[in-house]
Amino acid sequence: MNDQETIQDYCYDEAAFDYHDRAYIPLQVADAPEQPLRIPEILKPDQETATDVYYTITAQTGAVQLLPGKKTATWGYNGPLLGKTVIFKDGQTVHIHYINDLPEVTTFHWHGLAIPGPIEDGGCHAPVYPGQTRDVEFTIHQPAAFVWLHAHPCPATAEQVWHGLAGGAIVQDQHEAQLPLPRNYGVDDIPVILQDRRFHEDNQWDYRQDYDPDGILGPTPMINGTINPYFDVTTQKVRLRFLNGANRREWRLHFSDDLPFTQIAGDLSLLPKPLKMTKLMLTCAERAEIIVDFGSYRPGDEVVLYSDDTPLLRFKIHEFKPDHAALPNVLFETPNPAVAPEMPIHYVTLDGMDEAVAMNGKKFKMDRIDYQMPMHKVQLWDIENTNHAPGMIHPYHMHGTGFVTVARDGHAPNPNELGLKDTIAINPGEHVLLKVWFDVPGVFMYHCHILEHEDGGMMAQLKVVDPKNPNKQYQLMDHMTLMRAFAEERHVPLNELWLGGMDSYRKMGEEM
């Protein structure tokens, strides 16, 4: 693909798009009035100094008026649904006080932050039980990016994110701050969290009824927790920070009139240079930042963002001042450290579909370390999607680091994959070569980010060894500890407990 030209396709294998799946549920516009797009508030720090910031984050239940009629029961962070936007600054030390006001155990995972694991990272090994709290501290050392917070208790990650436990966070740094980019939050700098839901009787969500081991889908688009949203455009250029926060769905984004836009960032950094595009596909957990120029429109016009043929978000054009500022040709220099010659290529396979999902032929075990590598050493990882074509596209994610995409089946990566990423879509039968290194120690997970796939066992974990403390041991939980907690909190005997991921193990004759 010539990255000097406008990108006009979705880059991935069409035969593997999710709409070919026999259980695919197409999107449709809800029978509900238009609503202003909810813009998550910025979370106010409890305290902030030049070097430190303090936050309190509470996981809580709530109810939200999403459709006409009864409110929908939801979960959220510091609010009834999703979360407030958290601001992190490069070089700042962050202190967070977590509170769990939910009826069951949860964890607080910072997807995209390069922070130690397993406790600070907030995966399966960092539970916060109902009515309890946890305090963590970490320092931010990474480029500007749009990252996110979501629940990650094994194997109920998918169900808790479906309830609403997901929210955005913005990492700021001095380099990005000096570029001529829109950054007036809520006016020309807008997070766009893409999710989908099915509404049952009385407008309620029913995860178990909708459950699919290949990933739950719903027919109704929900953007920032808004149904049928619109946004009032008051500036010529608008920066949209997209997050695919869905359990399963791929979003194939384009605007009415084939309006071109410019992608400036991916998961964990700005792109090396801006890319002009008319189409953008995001798989689960991927992020992309784009700038849309509405300069050819006039007050009263309307521009629509679509996924495939379904409208997601309407942009209503108002008066704005002309903006002739040009983007710089160079946005970011992607790190390209040398591979350690003594480190052989590490191979990872993403295997199967439905309940048969696995990684390197094995289902995930919380108390098993699958791989070990030294901190600061750079290694090539070869990630293979072993599904036969047409198969499924698997979005592969790594905790605790950002990687550089080297090649797809021996060819150059897609042009918008040339920044730092933490999640990458892999076509059926494809090998994707990554440069991987960790600048923080700990135990970290890597997995498919179709949430039901990770709950079902397409996940593994590695130990990153600090050469200054090579013998450090980490206390790892096992699945059964969390299973007992869920059973107690849901007031059922352990043998009657249902969690979607448990089915995948049971139906394959395996214990968790």
Span 470-491, pLDDT tens digits: 999 999 999 999 999 999 999 9
**DSSP-derived pairing of the beta strands 145-150 and 166-172:** antiparallel
Residues 6+ apart with CB under 8 A from 178: none
- Res. 494: pLDDT tops 50: yes
pLDDT at 368 over 80: yes
In a domain, 422, yes or no: no
* pLDDT at residue number 139: 98
Is 285 inside any structural domain?
yes
With a cut of 70, say whether residue 4 has pLDDT above it.
Answer: no
Query: Is the distance from CB of 146 to CB of 265 less than 8 angstroms?
Result: yes
Mapping DSSP to helix (H, G, I), strand (E, B) and coil, where does residue 210 land?
A: helix
Q: Which domain holds residue 197?
A: 189-317
Domain contains 439: no
Say how far apart CA 369 and CA 463 lie, in whole Å.
Answer: 7
* 72/61 Cα distance (integer angstroms): 11
- pTM value is 0.97
Q: Collapsing DSSP states into helix, strand and coil, what is residue 298?
A: coil
- The number of domains in the chain is 1
pLDDT at 118 over 90: yes
What are the pLDDT digits (tens) for 64-111? 999 999 999 999 999 999 999 999 999 999 999 999 999 999 999 999
Residue 204 included in any domain: yes
The pair of structure tokens assigned to 228 is 């049928």
Q: Tell me the pLDDT of the chain averaged across its residues.
A: 97
Residue 389: the pLDDT is 81
47 in any annotated domain: no
pLDDT band, residue 154 (cuts 50/70/90): very high
Check residue 397 and report its DSSP letter: E
Instruction: Categorize the per-residue pLDDT at 1 as very low, low, confident or very high, splitting at 50, 70 and 90.
Output: very low
pLDDT at 373 over 90: yes
Question: Which of 140-144, 244-248, 435-439, 497-501 has the least mean pLDDT?
Answer: 497-501
pLDDT, tens digit (0-9, with 9 covering 90-100), for 262-278? 999 999 999 999 999 99
CATH number, domain containing residue 280? 2.60.40.420
DSSP, collapsed to helix, strand or coil, labels residue 329 as coil
Query: Is the pLDDT at 511 greater than 90, yes or no?
Result: no
What is residue 2's predicted lDDT score, i.e. its pLDDT? 41
Nearest CA to 464 out of 384, 401, 387 is that of 401
Average pLDDT over residues 352-375: 97
Q: Where are the beta strands (DSSP E) in 388-500?
A: 394-398, 404-408, 423-426, 431-436, 442-448, 459-465
Long-range interactions of 464-469: CB distance < 8 A, separation 24+: 464/117, 464/372, 464/373, 464/374, 464/375, 464/400, 464/438, 464/440, 465/372, 465/373, 465/374, 465/375, 465/441, 466/375, 466/441, 467/374, 467/375, 467/376, 469/441
Q: How many C-beta atoms lie closer than 10 Å to residue 231's C-beta?
A: 21
Q: Which of 24, 9, 39 is nearest to 313 (CA)?
A: 39
Residue 208 covered by a domain: yes
Any domain includes 292:
yes
Give the mean model confidence (pLDDT) for residues 21-27. 95
In a domain, residue 226? The reply is yes
Helix (H), strand (E) at residue 290: strand 287-293
What is the model's pLDDT at position 330? 97
Q: Has residue 8 got a pLDDT over 80?
A: yes
